[in-house]
């Protein structure tokens, strides 16, 4: 069975050496007394033990058994309950949660490393707590003090879980047409009625309560998305003292039978006059829910990185051991009947592509985490605003680019194994199945691309884009900055293309939709080029300390710049070809 080992060395490199996160934390008052380099390393080391030795061993067995539904109750696979009990003892659900309500208050830069470990070890297991963390974030940001005091402590503790109830059978992306209703009651609560589908962790046997965040419409609500409110609806009603009361009118009608993440329960949830309480203001629930959704979008993006890392580890180990044919340059292992396949150029192409994209993604996730920390904790208003602008710009890129390239990496890992990659015991086919959903849920990647180009780039005339590209330009202007020529060229192409699309969109309404996916990918490759240049700069300075690690960083950066970054050339050509060819067929001709 394949093993997963958390990539601690590379995580420390990104946190401490590339971003100097401890120095950032030291200047943010809310973090200065709670976390430093030693604390971060201790947390990462303990997280590595939990994910590698407790959670990862349940990955294949969980996939084989899957979540089960019977008589309205969901049971998780053998070993999940015991592992979850140990998991919450460590306080992992509340790692970055508000310390005022029992969370650990750790920075997001640290939390993204932990989330990657979780997804790399066991995506199904990871989802149960990922939804809880997101629900806590939404409640902390928008709920009343009464609701926060009642729900957040047991949720951060892990005794209660959270879920996000948006989608209905007829309403996926278009939430404005949801039918779930909320009727006011005399005591200030609401009676919630309706059905939701695709609810991750909507029911399970890991926690004593599940706190559902439900989108619904009040009787006098305006039509469309401006008429959506958010409600907290617990599976088990909660008494004023925080103890559990009777069951609420919430039930799980069934669970889905899925391609992957089979140990994660994806539920149909029925609310039959269930008691709920308003979160935030009436008719402004979608904005409140987006607090959770944006958290989950980054988290699901990280699922792409975690699965890719697991696939890479397994593929490298296999490629070093599997012997097949001789190297093109002559025998490398003359004492064996053939050479290890890692000598073959095409195998190296696949492995290096996986390594470059996964480590680039890890750096990008850390950068987004840095901006989230600045937006939340900085005492400088301008710095907070700038960081929030970058978070809004980069979140759709993180969600879609991490997961699109994560699938590509997992397929490469499977391909390295040849026929064995198609066999269950090696684990690669499960990773391909598990990571595939990440491109779909929490807003499909096509929707993320439309959000990036339409709302985040064109809507503000490229101001946020220039803020980001300006940071890349400042780096490239440094004397001796690695790959400065390639960076200047890539950034100029991104900016010029954005300006061209701005002009095109003014008169051709299909251009944004036609260009958006390729545009997001081009954006992602340019961002990774900058981060690889930053990593190469550090590695060049420290190469003498550890040739194995830093030399590999420099070589991988070189591969990325010369073999992967040029993909932006074909993406640009595709975008500039315009939308006309998409509409050359009538609907009947497809």
Catalytic residues: 442
Q: Please check whether residue 44 is in contact with residue 116, taking contact to mean a CB–CB distance below 8 angstroms.
A: no
- The pair phi, psi for residue 310, each rounded to 5°, is -60, -40
Between the alpha carbon of residue 584 and those of residues 208, 420, 433, 508, the distances in Å are: 56, 42, 34, 15
Burial class (CB in 10 A: 0-12, 13-18, 19+), 341: buried
Helix, strand, or coil (residue 164): strand
Place of tokens 């706190």: 211
- The pair phi, psi for residue 202, each rounded to 5°, is -60, -30
Q: Please check whether residue 336 is in contact with residue 320, taking contact to mean a CB–CB distance below 8 angstroms.
A: no
Query: For strand 244-247 and strand 236-238, is the pairing parallel, antiparallel, or unpaired?
Result: antiparallel
- The pair phi, psi for residue 55, each rounded to 5°, is -95, -45
Query: Which contiguous run of DSSP H or E holds residue 315?
Result: helix 285-321
DSSP 171: B
Alpha carbon distance 339, 321 (integer Å): 9
Place of tokens 């293309």: 497
Alpha carbon distance 312, 351 (integer Å): 7
Buried b (16+ CB within 10 A) or exposed e, 507-537: eeeebbbbbbbbbbbbbbbbbbbbbbbbbbb
> Of 125, 131, 303, which is closest to residue 213 (Cα–Cα)?
131
């Amino acid at each position: 069975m394949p093993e997963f080992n958390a990539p601690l060395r590379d995580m420390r490199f990104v946190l401490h050496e590339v971003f100097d996160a401890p120095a950032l934390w030291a200047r943010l008052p809310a973090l200065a007394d709670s976390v430093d380099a030693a604390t971060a390393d201790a947390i990462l080391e303990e997280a590595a033990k939990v994910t590698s030795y407790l959670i990862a061993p349940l990955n294949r067995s969980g996939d084989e058994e899957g979540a089960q539904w019977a008589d309205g109750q969901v049971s998780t696979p053998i070993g999940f309950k015991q592992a979850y009990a140990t998991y919450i003892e460590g306080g992992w659900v509340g790692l970055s949660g508000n310390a005022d309500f029992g969370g650990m208050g750790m920075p997001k830069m640290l939390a993204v490393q932990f989330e990657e470990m979780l997804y790399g070890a066991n995506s199904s297991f990871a989802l149960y707590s990922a939804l809880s963390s997101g629900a806590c974030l939404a409640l902390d940001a928008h709920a009343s003090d009464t609701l926060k005091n009642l729900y957040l402590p047991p949720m951060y503790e892990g005794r209660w879980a959270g879920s996000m109830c948006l989608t209905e059978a007829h309403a996926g992306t278009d939430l404005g047409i949801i039918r779930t209703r909320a009727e006011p009651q005399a005591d200030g609560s609401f009676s919630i009625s309706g059905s939701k589908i695709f609810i991750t962790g909507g029911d399970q046997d890991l926690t004593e309560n599940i706190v559902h965040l439900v989108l619904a419409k009040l009787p006098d609500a305006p039509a469309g998305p401006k008429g959506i409110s958010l409600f907290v609806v617990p599976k088990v009603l909660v008494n004023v003292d925080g103890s559990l009361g009777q069951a609420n009118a919430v039930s799980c009608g069934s669970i889905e039978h899925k391609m992957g993440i089979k140990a994660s329960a994806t539920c149909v949830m029925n609310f039959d006059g269930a008691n709920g309480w308003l979160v935030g203001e009436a008719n402004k629930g979608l904005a409140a829910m987006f607090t959770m959704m944006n958290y989950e979008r980054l988290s699901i993006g990280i699922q792409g990185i975690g699965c890719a890392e697991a696939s890479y580890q397994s593929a490298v180990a296999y490629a070093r051991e599997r012997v097949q044919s001789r190297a093109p340059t002559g025998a490398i292992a003359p004492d064996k009947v053939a050479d290890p396949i890692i000598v073959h150029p095409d195998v190296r192409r696949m492995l290096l592509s996986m390594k470059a994209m996964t480590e680039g993604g890890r750096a990008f996730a850390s950068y987004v985490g840095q901006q989230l920390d600045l937006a939340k904790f900085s005492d400088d208003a301008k710095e907070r605003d700038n960081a929030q602008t970058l978070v809004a710009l980069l979140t759709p890129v993180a969600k879609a680019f991490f997961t699109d390239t994560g699938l590509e990496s997992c397929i490469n890992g499977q391909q390295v194994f040849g026929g064995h990659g198609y066999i269950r015991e090696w684990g690669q086919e499960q990773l391909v199945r598990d990571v595939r959903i990440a491109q779909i849920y929490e807003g499909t990647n096509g929707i993320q691309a439309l959000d990036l180009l339409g709302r985040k780039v064109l809507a503000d005339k490229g101001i946020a884009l220039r803020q980001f590209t300006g940071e890349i330009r400042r780096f490239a202007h440094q004397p001796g900055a690695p790959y400065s020529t390639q960076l200047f060229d890539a950034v100029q192409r991104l900016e010029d293309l954005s300006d061209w699309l701005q002009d095109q969109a003014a008169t051709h309404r299909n251009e944004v939709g036609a260009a958006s996916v390729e545009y997001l990918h081009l954006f992602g490759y340019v961002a990774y080029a900058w981060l690889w240049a930053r990593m190469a700069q550090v590695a060049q300075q420290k190469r003498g300390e550890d040739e194995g690690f830093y030399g590999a960083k420099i070589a991988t950066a070189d591969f990325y710049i010369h073999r992967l970054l040029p993909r932006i050339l074909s993406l640009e050509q595709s975008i500039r070809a315009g939308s006309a060819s998409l509409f050359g067929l009538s609907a009947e001709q497809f």
